[in-house]
Every structure is written in C-alpha cells, then in structure tokens.
Amino acid sequence: MCLVYLAHDTISGAKVAIKILLPALINDRTAMARLRREAALGGKLAHPNVCHIIRLGETTAGFDYIVMPFLEGDLLCVRTARAGSLPLNVTAGFVGDMCAGLHIAHGFGIIHRDLKPENIMIVAAPDGSERAVVMDFSLATELHVSPEMQLTAAGVVVGTPEFMSPEQLCGEPLDPRSDIYSLAFMVYEMLTGQLPFEGPSQRDVMVARLKGASIPIRTKRPDLAIPVAVEQVLTKALAFDPARRYSTTLAFGQAFSRAARGSPPGVLDRSREILRRLVRRLLRRRA
C-alpha cells in the first residue's frame, strides 16, 4: 500500500522513515483512512518494542504521510530464512520483546491483526544486544469502537492469511488472543523453520488450521531436542478455541520464558496458588 523513504530530520539530526501511500492509492479514501489510523494508533505506543509514529504530516500537494524512527537491523523473516531456525534462547528473548510491545498495544485496546515475520524488526543496540520491535499497525483494529468507526466491515477478512488465527480467517470479532495465536505461529517457525500446519497449498494449510490441532513441534523437528514444556506452551497458544489459549501476551511470554529455561509451564503459578491457600488457612485459624 505504501512507499517508505529513508530521510534526515533537519531539526534533530536523526534518521527517520517516511511512509506515504502509493500514487495509485492517493485518492482511495479507505487507504488514506488506514494511514491516518496507523498514525493515530502508533502515536499512542511509546515503547522500545513498538515502532511508534512520530507524527502525521501533509505534503504541499495534499498527500498525507507518517514519520517513524528509522530502525536499522534485520526483518525477522530475513533472520530466520538465513539461519534456517533460531536457537531457543535467542527466540525466547525475542518472544519476550514482542510480548512486551503487544501488551502495551492491547492495553490501549489495539489488536494488531497482521503479525508476521515481515512486520518484526530485529534491532541491534550499541552494546551488541538485540531487541525485537513490532511494526506496521496499518491493519490494526480497536476494541470497543462503534461499528461506524471501523474501517473493516463485519465478516470481512484483512491481514496475511498465512499467520491468521482461525477466528480471523472466519471474519469473526477479535480480541488479544488472536494476536497471541499469530505470535505463537511465528515462534513455531522461528524454532523450526517450518509452519505448524501442512498442506500442498496455502489454501490447504488454512483449511487444516480450521480443522484441527497444530503438529506438535517435537514431531515436526525431533532433531532439535526442543523441551516438552516449550511444546506444551506453543500447543496451548495455538489452540483452535481462543478460550483455551493464554489470555494475555504477558502470560504467554512468561510461560514461554519459563519453559525455555527448563521449568514446566505453570509451575510458578501453581506455587503461588499453594502459597495463597496456606496463607488463607493460617488467617482462618487465627480468626
């Protein structure tokens, strides 16, 4: 939909990216509205793991554009394709970053709707560390927005089918658990270099997603010795029924981090619950 230019901010001296609609879409009201929506939503999301929008502007010819920080690094799709698959510890770090960024978005009632490796940038810090940054909220939607303010009609599917949740493929209402599904889909590919469903065509893969459970990650790549706990976390996040998934990105990120470190998913949660029960018993006895 857009062209993106590398530019120099003459005031701050920083490199920035300027995004403008393709010439063929300049008179497309919906496309223009999406660009403005991206600016409005992205302007709220000041977080190291989200590519925020600096400002919305207009050229002398009357064309809207948005200004974003210039992020130098690799797209996640490039990194994964080059390596074939990513080590578990590296993946866990990026998962934590993406979950943190999406948690901020979800806190504002924003559902990304187009999570895919092409929309994640891996950025290097001066100390050599790396962080994952979630980009491109052009197809994002908001919870609790009146129907007349929505840019997508009910039942219409937008996004990248390859990484969509089942409910998004069906054009159903979405909540943060849809983004969690798409995120888990990406994580599966990061670890294996493959997708969690199989089929001779993209259509068959989508149909398989609507019919049953994903292929267990250790079945797909037994050579990688991925821990059982990691498989359990991804299986839960990729559940067909949103009610069976993690309810927040933070919960998913914490479970994945624990599993990657070797702790079974939910161990800390069960320990906290046992502790709470003991405290309640002690309080009742004192009463």
Looking at residues 21-50, what average pLDDT do you find? 84
| In the chain, domain spans | 2-69, 73-268
Catalytic residues: 114
CA dist., res. 215 & res. 199, Å (int):
12
Fold type of domain 73-268: Transferase(Phosphotransferase); domain 1 (1.10.510)
- Comparing C-alpha atoms, which of 175, 169, 230 is closest to residue 205? 169
Cα 122 from chain centre? 13
Is 154 a residue whose pLDDT tops 50? no
Please identify which residue in the block is written with the tokens 């074939």: 84
Looking at residues 103-121, what average pLDDT do you find? 94
58, β-bridge pairs: 64
**CATH number, span 2-69:** 3.30.200.20
CA dist., res. 94 & res. 187, Å (int):
9
- Comparing C-alpha atoms, which of 123, 115, 220, 106 is closest to residue 162? 115
pLDDT tens, position by position, 74-109 = 999 999 999 999 999 999 999 999 999 999 999 999
Tokens linked to 171: 């054009």
pLDDT at residue number 155: 42
pLDDT tens, position by position, 237-283 = 999 999 999 999 999 999 999 999 986 655 555 555 566 667 777 77
CA-only gyration radius of the chain, Å: 21
Question: Average pLDDT over the chain, rounded to whole?
Answer: 86
Any idea how long the chain is?
287
Tokens linked to 201: 């065509």
